[in-house]
Amino acid sequence: MNRIYFDNAATTSIDPQVLDAMMPYLTEKFGNPSSIYSYGREARMAIENARKSVAKILNAHPSEIFFTSGGTESSNTAITAAVRDLGCKHIVTSAIEHHATLHTVQHLKAQGLVKVSYVKLLKNGHVDLVDLEKVISASSEKTLVTLMHANNEIGNILDIDAVGNLCKKHNAIFHSDTVQTVGHFPFDLKNTNVHFITGSAHKFHGPKGIGLLYINRDVKIKPHIHGGGQERNMRAGTENLYGIIGFAKALELSTENYDKDCAYIRLLKYYMQDELQKNIPVVTFNGDVRGKSLYTILSANFPLTEKSEMLLYNLDINHICVSGGSACTSGASQGSHVMQAINNDPDLVTVRFSFSKFNTKAEIDMVVAKLKTLL
């Protein structure tokens, strides 16, 4: 029985071309990039070429690109460094950030290092930019603004340029969790007022366990992980050579095919929304579905009934993979903190459908037909 995988915001399948690019570095080109002989030099060259390629795509300088183990490490590093090294004593964030951000911020607050303000959200789940400016401008201390670019549960996209400009105006440090948008959105970092962004290859058909931290060259932070001098003394530990190659290749492919893939996946998202509305009229949707929203994510609500309570389980036994919110919280006893912040309705069952270039309309037809029988 073939599975239908509609959980691409949780992770994506590796693109065969990415695997092909990685394979030599898992086999014959296995050298340690720090070794001075030919195997090492070959590995070092491959890493620096990958860094250059990533920097070019994001319109950043290669010295601003650091490879990490993923989005979680990148956000932990950026937020902690903003407090420890850049003097931020006030953090402005939102209640719908990923736990990689929220838990880091809460940890710093529990240590008594910062005060935290949560910006207001509009009804459609967007950050209230008027309130954001009010909070930043009223801050008497050096402020870190940490707001995600696209929300991984509802897909809303933040106006990163507008927030960056506000931060610049009020001399605040700006970190954005861009894990859902790197590989899905054209970045122009030289012309964006942001100090830190993050990325994770497994969200755009690359391998797991490899991420990116962009650190704007105007800010200087201390290393988060101590040891050898890798990543220009910023992140010690033997580099994830094949992961870095995979990250760069996945980003190159997603950039090359961005227009085509984005149009195709958006079509799938809108088709699913239309089909759900036609076939299950009680459905409602979260976020700014057809507005400022990521083309990969559709978050739907169904009324809570004895049947719908078991929906995720029933979809699973029918080989349909979806998420009830963030994958990072599914299975936990408490519901999604994002849903609590934006609609907080215990009488709704929320399902996140998230698509990739490997999905089809035929799969959507099958899922909608199955949903009709399960609700």
Helix axes 38-58 and 241-256, enclosed angle (nearest 10)? 30
Is 281 buried (19+), middle (13-18) or exposed (0-12) by CB count in 10 A? exposed
Paired residues of 127 in beta bridges: 121
Pick the binder of ligand PLP from 7, 15, 42, 177 (CB under 6 A): 177
- Taking CB under 6 A as the criterion, the residue among 57, 96, 127, 179 binding ligand PLP is 179
Helix (H, G, I), strand (E, B) or coil at 276: helix
Separation of alpha carbons 43 and 241, rounded Å: 7
| 352 makes contact with ligand PLP (CB under 6 A) | no
Q: How many angstroms separate the CA atoms of 198 and 208, rounded?
A: 14
Query: For the chain, how many residues are written?
Result: 375
Beta-carbon count within 10 A of 63 CB: 11
SS3 at position 22: helix
- At its nearest, how many Å lie between ligand PLP and the CB of residue 225? 15
**What residue type is assigned to position 101 of the chain?**
T
In contact, 141 and 90? CB cutoff 8 Å = yes
- Report, in Å, the least distance between residue 70 CB and ligand PLP: 3
Q: Are strands 196-200 and 211-215 parallel, antiparallel or unpaired?
A: antiparallel
Would you say 251 and 54 are in contact if contact means Cβ atoms under 8 Å apart?
Answer: yes
For residues 205 and 199, give the distance between their C-alpha atoms in angstroms, rounded to a whole number.
Answer: 12
Candidates 17-25, 31-39, 66-74, 359-367: pick the segment binding ligand PLP (CB under 6 A): 66-74
Is 293 a binder of ligand PLP (CB under 6 A)?
A: no
Stretch that binds ligand PLP, among 65-73, 280-288, 309-317, 350-358 (CB under 6 A): 65-73
Among 77, 180, 255, 323, binds ligand PLP (CB under 6 A): 180
Closer residue to ligand PLP, CB minimum distance, 189 or 276 = 189
Among 219, 280, 328, 375, binds ligand PLP (CB under 6 A): 328
What residues between 79 and 98 interact with ligand PLP by CB under 6 A?
98
Q: Which is nearer to ligand PLP, 179 or 215 (CB)?
A: 179
Rule CB under 6 A: is residue 354 a binding residue for ligand PLP? no
Q: Is 329 in the site for ligand PLP (CB under 6 A)?
A: no
Minimum gap (Å) between residue 10 Cβ and ligand PLP: 6
Stretch that binds ligand PLP, among 43-51, 70-78, 235-243, 249-257 (CB under 6 A): 70-78
> Is the separation of the CB atoms in 9 and 297 below 8 Å?
yes
| 53/176 with CB nearer ligand PLP | 176
x/- letters, 188..227, toward ligand PLP (CB under 6 A): ------------x----------x----------------
The CA-based angle 201-203-116, given to 5 degrees, is 95
> Which two three-digit tokens encode residue 102?
């929220």
Neighbouring C-alpha atoms within 13 Å toward the C-beta of 326: 19
Min CB(222)–ligand PLP separation in Å: 22
Count of residues binding ligand PLP (CB under 6 A)? 13
Q: How far is the CB of 199 from ligand PLP (least distance, A)?
A: 8
Given the rule CB under 6 A, which residues bind ligand PLP?
70-72, 98, 100, 148, 152, 177, 179-180, 200, 211, 328
